[in-house]
Amino acid sequence: MKKQDIPMVVSGLLLGSALLLDAMGMTSLRDGSLAIASLIALLPIGRKAVGALRFGMASIELLVTIAVVGALFLGEFSEAAIVSFLFLFGAFLESRTIRKTRSAMESLIKLAPSSAVVLRDGRRETVDILTLVEGDIVEVRTGQRIPVDGTIVHGSATIDQSQITGESMPSEKTIGDSVYASTILQNGYAEIMTKRVGESTVFGNILKRLEEAQDKKAQTQRVIEKFAGWYTPSVVVLAIVTYLISRDIRLALTLLVIACPGAMVISIPVAIVAGIGTMAKHGILVKGGESIEKLAKINVIAFDKTGTLTIGKPKVSMIHPVEGDESSILNYASIAEHGSSHALAKAILAKAEEMGIKPSNIASNLDVLAGYGVVAVGDFGKIIVGNLRLAKQNETEFPIEQLDSYSTLTQTYPTCVFVLLNGKLLGYLILSDTLRDDTQETLVSLRKLGVQEIHVITGDSAASASQTLGPLGIDRIHADILPQEKADIILKLKKRKKVAMVGDGINDTLALNESDAGIAMSSDASEVAMKTADIVILGEKVESVATAMRIARFTSKVLKQNIVISIGTVFFLIFGVLLGKVHMDTGMLVHEASVLAVILNALRILRKK
């Protein structure tokens, strides 16, 4: 039990004992128990009321304090005890709800490692995490948490990244792969070169982002708080006027009690915190309630292509034979590309491995022609793997009669390389970026959520973008676009719609800034992405965009419901009191029921997927 909950518990016990005493006919003891229960509950309420008055604010606690003191003065001990207890109970439910939704962040804080094993001068040292610097090599074994953001330089491992990216399945990591602080190395061994430590890690940024999000208020919340600011003194004035006209102090006190806008004040915060917590569980970070409200209103989404809808890495998507078969084309291409670090070379070698093809020979001489291709010489003769620009050079021995068909092929497949063996054209390898597995399903989900238009803004050529995105049913593809031009497109779309921009947070910075809701998809969760976007999606699942919108729209729906419940209840009770149909005990019961209703309604957000 928390210290602040003790007055509520004691007051509740005394209230319960008063009911027993009443049943036993012990009215004096009953009234004493009720009076003590009222005073105990009134202490924290009155303290808050006085604190608010010092800053010139008339809070809802002031209404309750006046009502309880007045009831005690009139000898209405049961009303005083019920009013004060139910008010504390409502505050307890509110704080419990907020604590529950913040539990995800609290559990994250406990995950942060405090020490690391660092390899220095051939020795292993256990050091404080804060002493690590960029470039340090740390060692992580099975079952341990990774202490830093970095790159694996030795070893391989299975890593559980669910706390960071929201991925349910562990990821296989090896040399060259990025890893994140506070993720768990489930199996294997890894030596990791430190890139970021402490607050600058992805994990540190998550905690910082969540803490900031808790404090940022939604537009609706700010409006409601302003409304509550003038509402309280208005009710006090109304109660005074009611007394002056009716000369009925009980009526005036009842009006004060049941007019307390408790449900109205908490209706927005509990929903917003629930929304933030739910998104965090899915690996989605938001700046605050305002970002949730913005996302809920979006009806147009613009995506960057590379690294967002696509994996961002080239892949051999088609083999086009001319005088060779697929196996021979890949075999000779892999001989020429063996050992190269170029992205296209890696794609060709990966395709060969996928098809079970190992290079049948090794080149004795390799000449890399930057921007054109590669020439390999060995026992097999001469292999040339290159692009159209290289084919147009006479010294490549490319068959002149094939040049026109090759040119035509590149118009459909912009990244198309030829494979030439001793002057004979074996065929072409067509490479393209690959759509993420969940891209198609995500776009369908967005349509169902009410997104009217989906745009793609990319720096790729129109042919390349159309080849990759053709099956998706995109409303419009904006190709050959520079970073500053992306922002201009967003501004044009904003003139008629509410627009979200989804990008990687680096070359899309301007567009993210100009959009109504900027969403950064970033496996590295770069600092630029964190600072620029309203929402940051950790990991590489584009379906998280639909998840974020689904939660945002549901949260917005709950906000509206809570406002209707809270304001509607207050005005219903005020008119009920003035008409003589509602009395203090029933009025307070209905009032606290409305508090419970908005809290339970907000808790539904926690179950949203």
Q: DSSP for 109-177, please give it.
A: HHH--SEEEEEETTEEEEEEGGG--TT-EEEEETTPBP-SEEEEEEEEEEEE-HHHH--SS-EEE-TT-
pTM of the full structure: 0.68
**Average of per-residue pLDDT across 555-583:** 88
pLDDT digits (tens, 9 = 90+) for 459-475: 777 777 887 888 888 99
Asked if 543 and 525 count as a contact pair (C-beta separation under 8 A), the reply is no
The pLDDT, as a whole number, for residue 166 is 46
Amino acid at 599: I
**Choosing from 136, 304, 460, 504, which is the catalytic residue?**
304
Q: With respect to residue 342, please indicate whether it lies within any of the assigned structural domains.
A: yes
Asked if 61 and 46 count as a contact pair (C-beta separation under 8 A), the reply is yes
Q: With respect to residue 150, please indicate whether it lies within any of the assigned structural domains.
A: yes
Domain count across the chain: 2
pLDDT digits (tens, 9 = 90+) for 289-308: 788 989 999 999 999 887 78
Q: Domain containing 421 — which CATH number? A: 3.40.1110.10
Q: With respect to residue 276, please indicate whether it lies within any of the assigned structural domains.
A: no
Most confident of 299-303, 323-327, 387-391: 299-303
| Residues composing the chain | 609
507 pLDDT band, cuts 50/70/90, is low
The pLDDT, as a whole number, for residue 529 is 52
Among the candidates 177, 204, 231, a domain finishes at 204
Range 487-497 burial, b when 16+ CB lie within 10 A, else e: bebbeebeeeb
Amino acid at 503: G
**DSSP conformational letter for 221:** H
% of the chain with per-residue pLDDT over 90: 20
Asked if 49 and 65 count as a contact pair (C-beta separation under 8 A), the reply is yes
Query: 């004493």: which residue's tokens?
Result: 32
140 pLDDT band, cuts 50/70/90, is very high
Q: With respect to residue 119, please indicate whether it lies within any of the assigned structural domains.
A: yes
219 pLDDT band, cuts 50/70/90, is low
By residue range, what is the domain housing residue 164? 113-204
pLDDT digits (tens, 9 = 90+) for 84-120: 887 787 677 666 655 654 554 555 556 668 889 999 8
In this structure, the strands spanning 184-196 and 137-141 are: antiparallel
Q: DSSP for 303-363, please give it.
A: EEIIIIIEEEEEEEEEEEESSS-HHHHHHHHHHHHTT--SHHHHHHHHHHHHTT---SS--
State the chain's mean pLDDT as an integer: 82
pLDDT at 138 over 90: yes
Among the candidates 139, 172, 204, a domain finishes at 204
pLDDT digits (tens, 9 = 90+) for 253-279: 778 777 766 677 677 778 888 888 888
605 pLDDT band, cuts 50/70/90, is very high
Query: 């419009």: which residue's tokens?
Result: 476
Which tokens go with 565?
């419940």
Q: With respect to residue 213, please indicate whether it lies within any of the assigned structural domains.
A: no
Annotated active-site residue 304? The verdict is: yes
pLDDT digits (tens, 9 = 90+) for 309-320: 888 778 888 899
| Angle ∠(530,534,536) on CA atoms, nearest 5 | 50
Is residue 104 classed as helix, strand or coil in its secondary structure?
helix
For residue 57, the tally of other CB atoms under 10 A from its CB is: 15
pLDDT at 190 over 50: yes
> Could you write out the three-class secondary structure of 46-91?
HHHHHHHHHCCCCCHHHHHHHHHHHHHHCCCHHHHHHHHHHHHHHH
pLDDT at 36 over 90: yes
Among the candidates 155, 186, 204, a domain finishes at 204
pLDDT at 342 over 80: no
